């Protein structure tokens, strides 16, 4: 697969990564461990080198899965994980915590679960309003100096927060949601990243599966599938947003590719330092997503898709109100 650099950091990864959350968390029951190991290793075989996990996924079990799957190729891949939630021993969330001592403790615990001696990319999962971002960046800088972490990342952080963190220690990548149906990062985040030389790693680049065309107003979600709690995935919102899916589908049919490949190719065409991390639990979907790196949309196709999507008023908030408070502006 083609490689991309995350900004000017020197961290080179595959043009598409693999989001591993859904293998253990958020999309219903966890997948079979051995099968998920096979999916991750199939991704490696197809050239994927960036793998995304977090302590909160599972909780804890996703890091163990990713570490076990990648152990044979550890030196050939980039493992990204995250800190920032205050978790009980059983994984119950008590809120946010990015206190420096907590960041250090999470790093040590993640290293043990991953079975590795360094974390390649360590994201603050959500901005903690009670801890200045300068202290957080300073704590990760100490971990970098100790050799436990290679690069600092932020997730769902606003432009001002990114600037403040970057002034203390270089931020290698920002991870936030970005796709044809969530384009808010274009307002201030992407220009800031470009100015500072920071890479961008979009999660949910397929709109949590909606842009693939596999979900419609009649779809039912399993117990434990977070989409069943999101306003944007109410039956009414799905029906109202179908026009965006149809738009992507028409171009996919014209190009004889899948809707997922069009949605990912559109993202890849935005900036050369954007590396989407679509998640899946199936090797067939890994192959499909990887194929998007070879779909070269013309400038006219990108422009027409961008303009047409902008005319569609997407309905439904990304998160319910109690989760919106974790989003930095």
CATH code, domain carrying 117: 3.20.20.100
| 68 belongs to a structural domain | yes
| 277 belongs to a structural domain | yes
pLDDT at 304: 98
Helix (H, G, I), strand (E, B) or coil at 5: strand
| 313 belongs to a structural domain | no
| 76 belongs to a structural domain | yes
If you compute the radius of gyration of the chain from its CA atoms, what whole number of angstroms results?
A: 19
E strand or H helix at 14: strand 12-14
Q: Are strands 18-19 and 50-52 parallel, antiparallel or unpaired?
A: parallel
Total domains, the chain: 1
| 258 belongs to a structural domain | no
Low-confidence spans in the chain with pLDDT less than 50: none
| 316 belongs to a structural domain | no
Angstrom CA distances, 49 to 76, 194, 289, 293, stand at 7, 23, 14, 14
Distance CA 46, CA 266 (A): 21
Angstrom CA distances, 32 to 66, 91, 126, stand at 13, 20, 29
DSSP state of 214: -
128 with 145: CB under 8 angstroms? no
E strand or H helix at 269: helix 259-270
Angstrom CA distances, 254 to 172, 173, 209, 243, stand at 37, 34, 21, 17
pLDDT at 326: 74
16 with 276: CB under 8 angstroms? yes
pLDDT at 327: 76
Angstrom CA distances, 54 to 75, 106, 155, 245, 307, stand at 19, 10, 11, 30, 35
| 224 belongs to a structural domain | no
Instruction: List residues with catalytic annotation.
Output: 57
Distance CA 115, CA 108 (A): 11
Distance CA 207, CA 219 (A): 15
- Closest C-alpha among 20, 19, 44, 16 to residue 290: 16
Domain that holds residue 99: 3-206+270-295
């Amino acid at each position: 697969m083609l490689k991309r650099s995350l900004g000017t950091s020197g961290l080179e990864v595959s043009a598409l990564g693999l989001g591993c959350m859904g293998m253990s968390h958020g999309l219903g029951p966890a997948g079979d461990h051995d099968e998920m190991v096979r999916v991750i290793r199939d991704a490696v075989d197809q050239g994927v080198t960036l793998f995304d996990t977090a302590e909160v996924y599972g909780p804890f079990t996703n890091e163990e899965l990713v570490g076990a799957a990648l152990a044979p190729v550890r030196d050939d891949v980039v493992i990204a994980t995250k800190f920032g939630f205050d978790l009980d021993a059983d994984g119950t969330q008590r809120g946010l915590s990015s206190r420096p001592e907590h960041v250090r403790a999470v790093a040590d615990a993640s290293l043990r679960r991953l079975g590795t001696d360094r974390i390649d990319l360590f994201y603050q999962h959500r901005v903690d309003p009670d801890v200045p971002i300068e202290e957080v960046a300073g704590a990760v800088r100490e971990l970098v100096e100790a050799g436990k972490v290679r690069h600092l990342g932020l997730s769902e952080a606003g432009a001002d927060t990114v600037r403040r963190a970057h002034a203390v220690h270089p931020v290698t990548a920002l991870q936030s949601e970005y796709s044809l149906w969530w384009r808010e990062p274009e307002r201030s985040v992407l220009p800031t990243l470009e100015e500072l030389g920071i890479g961008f790693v979009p999660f949910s680049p397929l709109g949590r599966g909606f842009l693939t065309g596999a979900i419609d107003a009649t779809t039912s979600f399993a117990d434990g599938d977070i989409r069943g709690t999101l306003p944007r995935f109410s039956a009414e919102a799905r029906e109202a947003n179908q026009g965006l899916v149809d738009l992507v589908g028409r171009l996919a049919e014209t190009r004889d590719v899948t809707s997922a490949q069009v949605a990912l190719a559109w993202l890849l065409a935005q900036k050369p330092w954007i590396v989407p991390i679509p998640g899946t639990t199936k090797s067939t979907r890994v192959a499909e997503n990887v194929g998007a790196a070879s779909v070269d949309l013309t400038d006219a196709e990108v422009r027409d898709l961008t303009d047409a999507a902008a005319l569609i008023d997407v309905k439904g908030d990304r998160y319910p109100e109690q989760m919106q408070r974790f989003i930095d502006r």
